[in-house]
Structure 1
Amino acid sequence: MTDIRARIADETKTAMKAGQKERVMTLRMIGAKIKDADIAARGQGKDALADDDITSTLRGMVKSRQESVKLYRDGDREELAAKEEAEIEVIREFLPPEMDEAALEAAVKAAVSETGAATMKDMGKVMGALKTKFGASLDLGRANGLVKAALSA
């Protein structure tokens, strides 16, 4: 069992014992999403997800909930937005700390110079270098915008 899976299982047991129903539901939902991703990976002949893959899955869950929050707020459904935000907070507990903006900008600049990227055609090389160097600790969505800005400047 990977580290993240073990933490989720432990947190689920703790929340159940403490009677935290909403937290238990969110933790079970995370576990189900990871199992679904495992099944999809097995269908492609891969083993169970590694922690980096689980982190990517969790980032996807956060992103979809952030989009839902925006839609709920636009539709004046504050109670549903609050529920999604509570789920985001639980999911983020299992994500590595995000780089601050300055560190991310420095990493992008370093990757651009290391790869010799000059145009938007080189974006894949830069993103690949960032992913190789930082793995799951890097939010590729945030990095993407900075890479585009660096290459179009």
Structure 2
Amino acid sequence: MQYEKLQEEIKNAMRAHDKNRLSILRQVHGEVKNIEVNERRDIVEADVDAMLKQTGETLEGSIKAATSEERTAMLKEQVAILEEYLPKQVSGDELIALIEKTIADLGAETKRDMGKVMGALTAATGGNFDKAAAAKEVGSRLA
């Protein structure tokens, strides 16, 4: 998601009086802004995507630790909101086809090449794939 799109979504949530959406988007915006201030550089789309993903993972951890049903419900709703903005994850047949192509392109043959294959997959998808499933599939294809 582009930084400008995040700012626009915050405005839309304010107009719609959607407090939950506004809260989570402002949280992500604050984290992204911290990157800009602390690292003294402009924000890129990957920064916003990384913050969306990281915030979602943090919320999922909070859901597991939560004792209040009301708080858990709110956190689940916020995770659902964040998932709307995350890039689509590569999975299933699409992931298998990408693995086959990557192995062929790299000429990978042994388990020693697994790191190269996983690195290439990460670069090709921006890290948006099921890493556990990919590792299992790659491992089964390498000798």
> Shorter chain as normaliser: what TM range?
0.7 to 0.9
Instruction: Give yes or no for contact 2:114–2:139 (8 Å, CA) kept in 1.
Output: no
Task: Summarize the alignment of residues 31-110 of structure 1 with structure 2, pairs less than 5 Å apart.
Answer: 31-42=29-40, 47-72=41-66, 75=67, 77-110=68-101
SS at match of 2:23: helix
Q: Give the drift of 1:120.
A: 4.2
Question: What letter corresponds to residue 104 of structure 2 in structure 1?
Answer: S
Segments of structure 2 that go 5 or more residues without pairing to the other structure are: none
Q: Give the drift of 1:119.
A: 4.1
Give the aligned partner of residue 7 of structure 2: 9
Alignment coverage as a number of residue pairs:
140
The 1:116/1:53 distance shift into structure 2, 3 A limit, reads: farther
Structure 1 Cα separation of the partners of residues 102 and 137 of structure 2: 11
- TM-score, with length taken from structure 1: 0.75
The 1:37/1:148 distance shift into structure 2, 3 A limit, reads: same
Instruction: Give a deviation string over 1:4-23, Cα, whole Å, max 9, x none.
Output: 21122112112212222222
User: Is residue 2:143 matched to residue 1:149?
Assistant: no
- Coordinate RMSD, CA, aligned: 2.3
Deviates more, 1:105-114 or 1:23-32: 105-114
Q: Structure 1 vs Structure 2: percent identity of aligned residues?
A: 26
Instruction: Give yes or no for contact 1:111–1:129 (8 Å, CA) kept in 2.
Output: yes
- TM-score, with length taken from structure 2: 0.80
User: Is residue 2:101 matched to residue 1:114?
Assistant: no
Structure 1 Cα separation of the partners of residues 22 and 97 of structure 2: 39
Question: What letter corresponds to residue 38 of structure 1 in structure 2?
Answer: E
Segments of structure 1 that go 5 or more residues without pairing to the other structure are: none
Structure 1 Cα separation of the partners of residues 74 and 27 of structure 2: 14
Structure 2 Cα separation of the partners of residues 102 and 67 of structure 1: 29
The 1:108/1:40 distance shift into structure 2, 3 A limit, reads: farther
